[in-house]
Amino acid sequence: MSAATGGSGGLPGDLPERRSEFDRTIEGLRVQRRVIHALLLRELQTRFGRGHLGFLWLFLEPLLLAGTIGMLKTLLHSREMGNVPPFLFVVVGYAPYFAFRAIINRATTAFQANMTLMYHRQVRLLDIMLARNLLEMGAVTCVLLIVLSGTSWVTGFSPHSIPTMVFALLLLFALANGLALLVAAGAARWEVVDRIVHPLTYISLPFSGALFALHYLPTKWREVLLWNPQANLHEMLRDGMFGDQIPAYYDVHYVLACVVIINLLGIAAVRAVRAKLEF
């Protein structure tokens, strides 16, 4: 009886401690949210200034590039795609690829450009990367919303599965985030990383599956490209957009494994290189 009383007597004392830990966690998340929001605003001002045109260029750049390639694809219309608008096919593929490439390319100078911010205790290297990557993600998401809304209004062609498209975009940006962490850590350690990353991102375009569907490739080539998680994600995007009109090939479990592993490696690399950065 006394043992039972003693055991239950410890519970009230533990409860305030647990609540205190929970409150500290919530407060820490709130602080980091404010930090990332401030970094987002700073990145916007640094890259585009205070002018409205500079801010709009964040959305116009991917829209113009994707639109131009889409118009060229329309002129070279292929009957293989059936009723799928060529312009829409290209925009759905190239706009996310543009953000993917921009996230990785900008990672090479992320730490050097924000070195003075590290004097603030609340700012972490991961916050800097996340703020930059969210900016690119938000811009391309807005571009896709504009294009899809306009196309749906003009042609009546609407997405087959919006949840599939959203999930594919989230996985694509998560993959880019992990690669950006690795690139940023590598560039902080070795200068040569900055020189080779940009050419590699351009060379990767033919292997990304952004501008073509794997269904129209020979089976052997398709199996090789499916080792690239980016190609899987572009196929998943097209599946969400066009459904059965273009057969899609992708493995969600494989992509999830790649995203988790690459992000864990990226976080470990950033932590390892932090001690070598001079603040």
Per-residue pLDDT of the chain (279 residues; tens, 9 = 90+): 444 444 444 445 555 555 576 666 666 667 667 766 666 666 666 666 655 555 566 566 666 666 666 666 665 555 555 677 777 888 888 888 888 888 888 888 777 766 666 656 666 777 777 777 787 777 777 777 777 777 677 667 778 888 999 999 999 999 999 999 998 888 878 888 888 888 888 888 888 888 888 888 888 999 999 999 999 999 999 998 888 888 889 999 999 999 999 999 998 888 888 766 655
Q: What is the pTM of this model?
A: 0.76
| Whole-angstrom distance, CA of residue 152 vs CA of residue 90 | 15
78 token code pair: 């292929």
> Domain boundaries in the chain?
52-274
- Residue 190 CA to residue 173 CA, distance in Å, equals 25
d(CA 189, CA 18): 41
Task: Tell me if 253 sits within 8 A of 171, measured CB to CB.
Answer: no
CB burial of residue 226 (10 Å; 0-12, 13-18, 19+):
middle
Element (H, E) at 50: none
